[in-house]
A = this chain, B = another copy of it.
Amino acid sequence: MGIADDAVEIRAHGWRTLAALHGIIESALEKDLSAEVGLSVVEYTLLDALNRQDGWHMRMAQLARATALSPSATTRLVSRLEDRALLSRVLCADDRRGIYTELTHAGQQLYRKAKPIHDATLERVLKEAEQQPELAPLARILPQFPSA
């Protein structure tokens, strides 16, 4: 097996590690967030994205990108959260095709309640992953990225 073949296998192995760690983190977050505040991971991700904009609004396409969801899934996700009065759709004047979304007060409150749970679970799961040889290399490196 030559060097090029090795590279292929190492990439594949890295991808399996990435997928495994992703699955573990996501299901742990899903479990805790839904139990404590009734939010799924994508729902939290969307609230988090809106909140990091700090009062500013985002368009559907930006939300789709932030959540790694299709346009149709984003529409329904926003609709669900709007039905729960956590955010509101706002037509934007300059481009009447576009739709802005912004957090309501209730949405901000729920986000502030959810964030500590999210962060604690993430910390716990990463610590656990560091103990597993298969996941450790990735889990250890994750908190060392440029804070941007």
A interface residue numbers (CB < 8 A to B): 6-27, 45, 48, 68, 118-119, 122-123, 126, 133-134, 137-138, 141-148
Q: If A137-B145, A141-B141, A145-B137 touch, does A126 touch B11 (CB 8 Å cutoff)?
A: yes
A-B contact pairs, 10 of them (CB 8 A): A7-B143, A11-B119, A11-B123, A11-B126, A14-B145, A15-B142, A16-B45, A19-B68, A24-B68, A137-B145
Q: Do B68 and A143 have beta carbons less than 8 Å apart?
A: no
Nearest neighbor of A15 in chain B, beta-carbon distance: B122
State the copy count for this chain: 2
Q: If A18-B18, A68-B23 touch, does A13 touch B119 (CB 8 Å cutoff)?
A: no
Nearest neighbor of A8 in chain B, beta-carbon distance: B119
Q: Do B20 and A122 have beta carbons less than 8 Å apart?
A: no
